[in-house]
Amino acid sequence: MISKNNGFQVNCMEKYLITGFSGFVSKHFLDFLEQNEVASAVLGIDLNKPEFDLSKYKKVNGSFQHVDLLNKEDVDRVIQQFQPDYILHLASYSSVAFSWQNPVASFTNNTNIFLNLIERVRALGIKCRILSVGSSEEYGNVSPSDLPLREDHLLNPVSPYAVARVAQELLSKVFVAGYGSDIVLTRSFNHIGPGQKDIFVIASFAKKLIDIKQKKVASNELATGDLAIVRDFVDVRDVVRAYYLLLKKGKQGEIYNICSGKGTSLAEVLEKMAKIIGVEIDHRLDKRFVRPDDIRVVVGSNDKIRKDVGWKNEIELDKSLRDILDYYTISST
């Protein structure tokens, strides 16, 4: 039986397996399913229990299991029992800074959990579509003449995290070509939004600015990394809509940028956020926040995903920043 809700055509009670379930993105994906009345069964797996409440969802029948993706028996059991229609692979050490501090753990974990997952799906003969979530970090440092970056641009990863993402992408290509695995790939650009942890730069700005606003700190001075860096920011609520559309309509084996197509410097973002909440700030460069080989400018083209699945980003940067600040204001009370 097929129903149509808010323009999305869906099979009743679709089954989604989501790895990395306790992270920032998965809750927004569940919210998307709920808001668009996608009748679905969702099994989330992670090493850590999610902090959000699964019982609040009416259209989404959500459950959670503690699963180590490096454990073949655990992965086999979950896949065999749940028989997913779709797998959204979000599990990873997602911080570039963490990868510089822990290169071995970052690379081996991110590569091996993905390989174990797709190999168990193949070995068990499960017919499902897998979304392999990659990163704009794979592009590395590029010339301004190369912008906006398109999916056929040469990759030049410059961090342990980015190298692992390229390896994940190449494994996907091998499994698609060699085994016929149904994998669609993304290069997701910097996504931001309410609920993101303050180990990431925009969320960390928000938390520090709220502390200044509420006079929880003695000084209006902010220690920052290099604010001249330019990134292509996209709201997480647009990102999860892209993930859903790619699971539904993306082409097997194809790679899709998920980006806004606009570049904004960290200095501009910080200035916008300070203006939104009405605080004056001073900032100083702290070398602890400067990565060994940081990418200077990243701006992507979303032409391909627009053409193939009809996605475009809809939430403007200013709204994203307001919502992040609201989230940290509420969290601080």
- The pLDDT-based confidence of 4 (bands split at 50, 70, 90) is very low
- CATH code: domain 12-193+234-260+300-314 is 3.40.50.720
Q: Give the dihedral of Cα atoms 159, 165, 171, 174; nearest 10 deg.
A: -100
- State how far the Cα of 43 lies from the Cα of 48, in Å rounded to an integer: 14
Average confidence (pLDDT) over 238-257:
98
Six-digit token string for 202 = 């925009």
Cβ of 265: how many Cβ atoms within 10 Å?
15
pLDDT at 225: 82
CA distance 180 to 154: 25
Mean pLDDT of 240-259: 98
The residue ranges of every structural domain in the chain are 12-193+234-260+300-314
Determine the Cα–Cα distance for residues 224 and 26; give it in Å rounded to an integer: 28
Contacts of 265 (CB under 8 A, 6+ apart): 227, 228, 229, 230
Q: Confidence band (pLDDT; 50, 70, 90) for 9?
A: very low
Report, as an integer, the average pLDDT of 95-121: 95
Q: What is the pLDDT of residue 12?
A: 60
Structure tokens belonging to residue 270: 């910080």
Would you say the C-alpha torsion 179, 132, 92, 294 has a positive or negative sign? positive
More confident residue, 113 or 216: 113
What rounded mean pLDDT belongs to the chain? 93
Note the pLDDT tens digit of each residue in 131-179: 999 999 999 999 999 999 999 999 999 999 999 999 999 999 999 999 9
d(CA 160, CA 99): 6
**Structure confidence by residue, pLDDT tens digits, 188-242:** 999 999 999 998 999 999 999 999 999 888 788 887 888 999 999 999 999 999 9
Q: Is pLDDT of 322 > 80?
A: yes
Question: Is the preceding peptide bond at 160 cis, omega within 30 degrees of 0?
Answer: no
The average pLDDT across 43-59 equals 96
- State the pLDDT at residue 118: 98
| Beta strands, E only, the chain | 2-5, 8-11, 14-19, 40-46, 60-66, 86-89, 129-135, 183-188, 191-192, 221-224, 230-231, 234-235, 255-258, 264-265, 282-285
**Position 41 confidence tier, pLDDT thresholds 50, 70, 90:** very high
Spatial distance between the Cα atoms of 95 and 92, rounded to a whole number of angstroms = 9
- Predicted pLDDT at 297: 94
pLDDT confidence of residue 332: 76
For residue 283, name the pLDDT band (cuts at 50, 70, 90): confident
Confidence (pLDDT) at 3 = 41
